[in-house]
Structure 1
Amino acid sequence: MPIALRPIQALRLWQQVCLAEVRNDMPDLSERQIAILLTIYLDPPPHTVRGLAERLKVTKPVITRALDTMGALKLVSRHRDDHDRRNVLIRRTVEGALFVERFGDVIVARAEELPL
């Protein structure tokens, strides 16, 4: 069943999620980095720089910079494709899965606090 939110409720939810993220001890990710991370964790693999760039309609350097940051945070890892050494596969990590799960929990908690 779809969730029905008025625009002001949707904006309030997004504000509350952003505030919760700013206030916690977790790394601050940009909206672009969150979009890339959620694509990696919610869409079925395999994921490549080229594929992510096409999916998000950005350039490959944009994806690479985001992956550099997320890799340093251990949210994703990169490995050469054994079948095609030209491709770099982006893989999920335990740390990344926990980050995404916690992020989902924050969204649910803030949504439950929304006034009707």
Structure 2
Amino acid sequence: MPRVRFGFVHVVNNDYRHWIMSAIGGSSHPTIISHGNRFRAPRNIAAKEVCKREYATEQEWKNWDWRSEGDLMLNGAIFTQSGDPKAAKKFGGYKMIAYKPAHMVPLLVRWSGTLECRPNKPC
């Protein structure tokens, strides 16, 4: 699970599944903008929340800019948004990656993953 502290993260066109507690975590007032991701929640009813805000009360994290736009929530996945509804527009095009619709994620990540490389041989 990625965990963001302080800064800004733009999460784009990922396929999140098989998480144990949550897919994305954060602490210390991070800004998280999620675009075009696919979140498939586990069967565990207690782990449907995509986001985990750590070391903060709701009074604190309700002002953190966490936005989900164009994401696909499957198997009961829930993304609890907080902060400014227009947060994504604060950053402009120079910090934001163009994203594809979430239904395209399986095609986009089809060949992703680690390379099976061996010493002294091309990957």
TM-score (norm 1): 0.28
Q: Which structure: greater helix fraction?
A: 1
TM-score, with normalisation over the residues of structure 2?
A: 0.27
